[in-house]
Chains A and B, each alone.
Chain A
Amino acid sequence: MTTEPDRSAGAAEQRGAATATAPPEDPPPADRPAVASAGRPKVGMADLIFKNLTRTAGLGLLALIVVIAVFLVLHATDALSANTGNFLTTEEWSPNASPPKFGVAATLYGTVVSAAVAMIIAVPVAVGIALFITVYAPRQLSSFLGYIVDLLAAVPSVVYGLWGLLVLAPHMKGIQLWLNDYFGWIPLFDADSVGRSLFVASVVLAIMILPIVAALSREVFLQVPIAHREAALALGATRWEMIRVAVLPYGKPGVISASMLGLGRAMGETIAVALVLPASFDISAHILEPAGNTIAANVANGWGEANEIGRGALIASGLVLFVVTMIVNIIARAIVARRREFSGSAA
């Protein structure tokens, strides 16, 4: 078990996995209401009231999403119509000036790049942790480690931000200089000076989402039927071959959805990034240079001194973030839904 929001996207898949392993105890959820209501003789007044109460709550949830979207759009439009720059391509952010000129390009770039680099660092390591806990570690140690990873996933992001700013950032100087010295010929690692850069922010994000992705992947790997693993070993597979033919194919959709959740978390992360990055608004491929900003961090940094247009501009950028994270989540769901058939037939 891990913190619930992280589970949910993977949960559908895991439910599918659970039915595959133990069908009698866990009938497909879709049949249940039909069975549950089959034996009822008549529907009383109180029944109707209660049913409609829960239904209203469900619809209220839809209304909540609509209200969120409407209010964000409403507040964004005023600022967008006053904007003298192009909202999507302008690299400048001065919505409080007159005339206001702002664009989401630089912060969106920072959001995407920092989250992407964080994923590149975190996902392989997280899969390694999950494999270590489920396959390699001795049994007693493994449940204890699973526990620890779950607890680390609950550490608040502001603590990671504090640590990233005060402990990690000073220590990152050496490795950044080294990357620049030896890989400076790649534009990515070319830098005039190094410091609290997008790269440092990415490392903080990577460390932050590591336990989350690892905890979810671990749960998926635990669902792999023991029979599959034993069958592979019985055929003479080495441990790695067993992982390759039994564990990874089975766990793949779960790992992908866990990674996508981590990606969503990394893109939406505010405080850790706001503490680490110096707020600057330019698009630069040199991720080691002390520059960059993300949408979420920009909101946290900028809203204090924002006037009415400024707040509208921040809300508009928040809307962009909302849309991007929603797309990521929908892709994650689609991958899980599409892959489910495969893992289902494999079981």
Chain B
Amino acid sequence: MSTATVSGPAVGDTADRLGLRGQSLPRWMPLAVAAGAVVVSLLIYLLTPVDSEIQIVLMAALGFVIAMTALSTAVEGGRRARDRFATTLVYTAFLLAVIPLVAVLVSVIGKGAGRLDAGFFTHSMNGIGARDVGGGIYHAIIGTVEQVLLASVLAVPFGLLVAIYLVEYGRGRVSRVISFFVDVLTGLPSIIAGLFILAFWVIALDQGFSGFAGALALAVLMIPTVVRSAEEMLKLVPNELREAGYALGVPQWRTILRVVVPTALPGIVTGVMLAVARVAGETAPVLLTVFGTNLINSNPFSGEQSSLPLYIYSQAGQPQQSAVDRAWAAALVLIIIIMVLNLAARLFAGRNRLR
């Protein structure tokens, strides 16, 4: 599990007086080589016309891997060198991956924080052109909250019932087919969900664009998530609880509703919160079904609405700096909302763990 219990061959262990392990590089060597690679790359950056940061970072990484491998092959040799090569690659991959992922967060925080003031949360985009400095996300927050809540109201009971069927009743071909199609729905690209509601609700039933249409599309995306997480949790409920219910003469449906589901509830809630966090960030389905507007529309059942992802998308597409600033600020708000939902779900799961 960890290096404390399962530790690989110690590197640079001075206790090896008999020399059974052969020569090994000292412990500080990887750090020194890494520092050397960084310094050399920085020199190249400063002294030569190579001016792309990405190239410099890649060069540093490559230099580190090559130097370490060469050193290790020369000093340690054989299997130890191969082990060292793998270690170096894994560390490098990890560091290389951390850079862009951290860069995303840093850019969003750095560029988004500037526009975050009270006015940003309390104003809509009514009458604000792309070039104007003001404007806010009030209408988008209303839209996102309403659409996600409606989607949850639609998807959670339905998904829970399907999960109960699959775990408690499902047997044979029907349940296998349902289970298969839950997987198909899981892999459904979000834009297809949007296209479907567009074709079905907006065009065929002629209901027009509305927050509710967006909620329908989001519900399509939420259902498989809810089914899968609820299914996993229901399966964790020990069979003894069910048998205890039957032994007391409680009918199966009451056993399920009063014993099995309450036992699994914390896990189900966690799954639902994660699903909510996921659909709250979906842009494509909302784009096709809610349409987007600059005005405050708090009625999700009629007329276009906005939503946070949609707002980011429309502002990011504008060339003006003021619009781009708004996009960054809205992105920061969206990330904070989603992170809070995620953290809350995890804390909740940690406190009420089944098993």
B3 pairs with A207, CB closer than 8 A: no
User: Closest A-chain residue to B309, C-beta based?
Assistant: A158
Contact residues in A for B130 (Cβ distance below 8 Å):
none
How many angstroms from the CA of A133 to the CA of B2 in the assembled complex?
A: 10
What 1/0 mask marks residues of chain B from 166 to 179 whose CB sits below 8 Å from any chain A CB? 11111100110110
Contact residues in A for B8 (Cβ distance below 8 Å):
233, 238-239, 242
User: Closest A-chain residue to B345, C-beta based?
Assistant: A1
Contact residues in A for B346 (Cβ distance below 8 Å):
1, 147, 150
How many angstroms from the CA of A267 to the CA of B190 in the assembled complex?
A: 11
Which positions 177-215 of chain B face chain A at CB distance < 8 Å? Answer: 177-178, 180-192, 195-196, 198-200, 203-204
Contact residues in A for B227 (Cβ distance below 8 Å):
61
User: Closest A-chain residue to B89, C-beta based?
Assistant: A128
How many angstroms from the CA of A270 to the CA of B285 in the assembled complex?
A: 10
Interface residues on A, range: 35 or more
Contact residues in B for A1 (Cβ distance below 8 Å):
270, 274, 346, 349
- The answer to whether the Cβ of B18 comes within 8 Å of any Cβ in the partner chain is no
A300 pairs with B87, CB closer than 8 A: no
How many angstroms from the CA of A323 to the CA of B288 in the assembled complex?
A: 20
**CB of A123, distance to nearest CB on chain B (Å):** 11
**CB of B186, distance to nearest CB on chain A (Å):** 5
What 1/0 mask marks residues of chain B from 280 to 324 whose CB sits below 8 Å from any chain A CB? 111110011000000000000000000001001100110000001
What 1/0 mask marks residues of chain B from 74 to 104 whose CB sits below 8 Å from any chain A CB? 0000011011011101111110110011011
Contact residues in B for A150 (Cβ distance below 8 Å):
342, 346
B188 pairs with A325, CB closer than 8 A: yes
- The answer to whether the Cβ of A35 comes within 8 Å of any Cβ in the partner chain is yes
What 1/0 mask marks residues of chain B from 200 to 236 whose CB sits below 8 Å from any chain A CB? 1001100000000000000010011111110010011
**CB of A94, distance to nearest CB on chain B (Å):** 20
**CB of A210, distance to nearest CB on chain B (Å):** 6
A72 pairs with B195, CB closer than 8 A: yes
A154 pairs with B277, CB closer than 8 A: yes
**CB of A243, distance to nearest CB on chain B (Å):** 7
A39 is contacted by which of B164, B235, B247, B275 (Cβ under 8 Å)?
Answer: B247
Q: How many pairs of residues, A versus B, come closer than 8 Å at their CB atoms? A: 363
Instruction: List the one stretch of B33-41, B48-56, B116-124, B132-140 in contact with chain A.
Output: B48-56
B252 pairs with A58, CB closer than 8 A: no
Which positions 139-164 of chain A face chain B at CB distance < 8 Å? Answer: 139, 142, 147, 150-152, 154-163
- The answer to whether the Cβ of A230 comes within 8 Å of any Cβ in the partner chain is yes
Instruction: List the one stretch of A83-91, A96-104, A183-191, A326-334 in contact with chain B.
Output: A326-334
How many angstroms from the CA of A64 to the CA of B158 in the assembled complex?
A: 12
- The answer to whether the Cβ of B6 comes within 8 Å of any Cβ in the partner chain is yes
Which secondary structure characterizes the binding site on chain A?
helix
- The answer to whether the Cβ of A314 comes within 8 Å of any Cβ in the partner chain is yes
How many angstroms from the CA of A2 to the CA of B191 in the assembled complex?
A: 22
Contact residues in A for B5 (Cβ distance below 8 Å):
226
Contact residues in A for B203 (Cβ distance below 8 Å):
75, 311
Contact residues in B for A177 (Cβ distance below 8 Å):
52
Given known contacts A36-B239, A163-B104, A178-B55, is B312 in contact with A9 (CB within 8 Å)?
no
A240 pairs with B87, CB closer than 8 A: yes
- The answer to whether the Cβ of A34 comes within 8 Å of any Cβ in the partner chain is yes
**CB of A42, distance to nearest CB on chain B (Å):** 9
How many angstroms from the CA of A5 to the CA of B184 in the assembled complex?
A: 11
How many angstroms from the CA of A131 to the CA of B312 in the assembled complex?
A: 35
Given known contacts A151-B342, A268-B189, A271-B283, is B97 in contact with A47 (CB within 8 Å)?
no
How many angstroms from the CA of A65 to the CA of B186 in the assembled complex?
A: 11
A128 pairs with B93, CB closer than 8 A: yes
Contact residues in A for B89 (Cβ distance below 8 Å):
128
Contact residues in B for A161 (Cβ distance below 8 Å):
313, 316
B96 pairs with A125, CB closer than 8 A: yes
- The answer to whether the Cβ of A287 comes within 8 Å of any Cβ in the partner chain is no
User: Closest B-chain residue to A270, C-beta based?
Assistant: B284
B187 pairs with A9, CB closer than 8 A: yes
B251 pairs with A46, CB closer than 8 A: yes
Given known contacts A124-B93, A154-B338, is B184 in contact with A329 (CB within 8 Å)?
yes
A326 is contacted by which of B187, B190, B232 (Cβ under 8 Å)?
Answer: B187
- The answer to whether the Cβ of B327 comes within 8 Å of any Cβ in the partner chain is yes
A311 pairs with B198, CB closer than 8 A: yes
B52 pairs with A321, CB closer than 8 A: no
* Given A5-B275, A71-B200, A158-B312, 4 more pairs with CB closer than 8 A: A4-B225, A4-B226, A129-B97, A156-B334
Show 29 residue pairs from A and B whose CB-CB distance is below 8 angstroms, ordered by the A residue. Answer: A1-B270, A1-B274, A3-B274, A3-B278, A4-B225, A4-B228, A5-B275, A11-B228, A34-B171, A40-B252, A54-B161, A127-B93, A128-B97, A132-B94, A139-B1, A150-B346, A155-B335, A226-B6, A238-B79, A241-B79, A243-B86, A271-B284, A300-B287, A303-B198, A318-B191, A321-B191, A321-B192, A322-B192, A328-B187
9 tightest CB-CB pairs across the interface, nearest first? A174-B52, A268-B189, A156-B281, A128-B93, A139-B2, A57-B161, A50-B253, A239-B8, A238-B83
